[in-house]
Amino acid sequence: MLKYLFANEEDIPQGSTALFFAFSSIAWFIIGTGLGSFNAAKLAFPDFYHNVYWLQFGHMRQVHVHAVIFGWIAMAFAASMMYITPTLGNTKLWSEKLGVWNCLLYNVGLCLALALLWSGMTSGREYSDHIWPIDLYIAFVMVVPWALNVWMTVLNRRTQGIYTTNWFFAACMFMTIIVFLIGNLPEFFHLTGLNEAYMTWWFAHNILGLLITPVAAAITYYIIPKITGNPLYSHRVGHLHFWSIVVFYSTPAAHHLMSSPLPEWLKSFASVEGVLILVPAIAYVSNILLTMQGKWSMFIENIEVKFTITGVFLAIPLNMQGGFQQTRAINWYIHGTGWIVAHAHLALLGFSTFAEAAAVYYGIQVLLRRKLYSSSLANFHFWMLLIGFSLYWVSMTIAGLIQGAAKIYEVPYIDVVIAEHPYMIVRWLGGTMVFLGNIVWMFNMYMTATAGDHVPEGRQPAEVAYTR
């Protein structure tokens, strides 16, 4: 990829940016889940590697979070946008050269950002942990060029309308930049106290609600109709999904702080708005599942559809939890417990990751015109991810319920720690399975790129048989 940095725009093959992002995202997924597995081991076995300062839990915990969010989740989004946006506009990516530079500087910036976090240089704000110079780098060097490429490609499209996926892509990039700059205002302008705490969670909420879940959904709006050949069940329901995300889901940030002394009206407002997540959620899930009509065999046979639909199924408990766990009636029980950790992994490692993995699997095959090297390895990856994730989710949910019960009975906290120990071990096993599955995935995609069967011109990868 590096040879294209100084090439003429016309000499860069279409899709270079998407491929660069796609392989980077898999690499970061391995790194991110490896760190996660290591951290989980420390929670299960606290004296594991205890005399090495650099491997302290407190320094590594946030590195795991940012490696998976900025490395895996965001770069897989970038990879998807860089090939889906032009395809849906029947055009080329606005600038492959900008894209290749964007990806290189993204990787460099992320390495630097994580190294600084790892060394303990932090703003002390969850999810906006990066120090402000890095925030500015992320906003203007990593995200703005990416957004520019998406917007300009949409503007230069050669179709009359804009398909649902592209509304989401264009709008979410815009909202991400706004959220990133406004969410980090406390650090730029030294805001303090509850204002700072609330803005921290305003950022954390909106980066999830306006970037991660809608873009993951937008990807499935493309993958399912494209591979099954069925048109999207309803464009109108897509409208409902889009507008209810913008209107409802940009507002409930305060539900992350239900037990803090924020103004009561704000908490009540956030809680009501939070339940309204069910509107976009039901619209979205039913739209995709109805699109599958008559093609359910592909859920078994086709690896991309299998990943995508699993992700959509995981969006059901995700939104059911998300809508109700933040109401006052339930929140006091599970707030700050492992339940929330499980829920966060359901959103990122469940729904989003499965949708994105499908887009990366599909993108690499389409862009290189090569069939997936091995469906067996892909299925192995799928089950490692699904079983690993399920172990994690179930164990942390149970751990959370134990913690919640302990709140009522006011047991000494050490009893909670003892009761959670088996679940901490299961969490570590689950995370390690995801990590190992991803290494297999990287091997499979490397082999696809170098030894996959050629997909004939004018044919879809799905039309070519798996040979391994």
Partner 1 sequence: MAFREYKIGCMMFGVALSTSMFVTIFLPGLDISAIGSTEEALKKQLTYGWESGFNYYDPFLAGKDKPIKVTLTHDPVTGKKIDKVDAYVFKPGTHFPNGLTHENIMGKKVLALSNSRGHINQASEENGGVFLVDVDAASGTPYVEFATATKGWSVDATLKAADQQFLAGSGKTMFIREGCWWCHTLLPEETQDWQTFGRPPVTGDFNGESPTTFGSDRKAPDLLHVGSRNSSREWMTMHFFNPRLVQPHSIMPRYNYLWGKTDAKGNVIDRQKWDREFMAYNNGETAYPPEVPEPAPDSDARKLIDFVLNLK
Using the rule CB under 8 A, is 157 a contact of partner 1?
yes
Using the rule CB under 8 A, is 458 a contact of partner 1?
no
Whole-angstrom distance, CA of residue 34 vs CA of residue 446: 19
Min dist CB 398 to partner 1, Å, is 15
Min dist CB 198 to partner 1, Å, is 6
Residue from 5, 111, 155, 451 binding partner 1 (CB under 8 A):
155
Tell me, residue by residue from 225 to 264, as one string, x for binding to partner 1 by CB under 8 A and - for no binding. ------------------x--xx--xx-xx-x--xxxxx-
Using the rule CB under 8 A, is 266 a contact of partner 1?
yes
Residue from 90, 408, 457, 458 binding partner 1 (CB under 8 A):
408
Identity of the residue, 75 or 396, whose beta carbon is nearer to partner 1 in the bound complex: 396
Using the rule CB under 8 A, is 413 a contact of partner 1?
yes
Radius of gyration over alpha carbons of the chain, in Å?
22
Residue from 14, 122, 234, 268 binding partner 1 (CB under 8 A):
122
Using the rule CB under 8 A, is 115 a contact of partner 1?
no
Q: Which stretch binds partner 1 (CB under 8 A): 26-34, 66-74, 179-187, 218-226?
A: 179-187
Min dist CB 457 to partner 1, Å, is 29
Using the rule CB under 8 A, is 401 a contact of partner 1?
no
Whole-angstrom distance, CA of residue 254 vs CA of residue 377: 43
Identity of the residue, 4 or 168, whose beta carbon is nearer to partner 1 in the bound complex: 168
Using the rule CB under 8 A, is 178 a contact of partner 1?
yes
Using the rule CB under 8 A, is 47 a contact of partner 1?
yes
Number of residues that bind partner 1 (CB under 8 A): 84
Residue from 1, 7, 61, 148 binding partner 1 (CB under 8 A):
61
Residue from 13, 294, 336, 456 binding partner 1 (CB under 8 A):
336
Using the rule CB under 8 A, is 143 a contact of partner 1?
no
Using the rule CB under 8 A, is 414 a contact of partner 1?
yes
Residue from 121, 278, 316, 330 binding partner 1 (CB under 8 A):
121
Per CB under 8 A, contacts with partner 1 among 185-204 are: 186-187, 190-200, 202
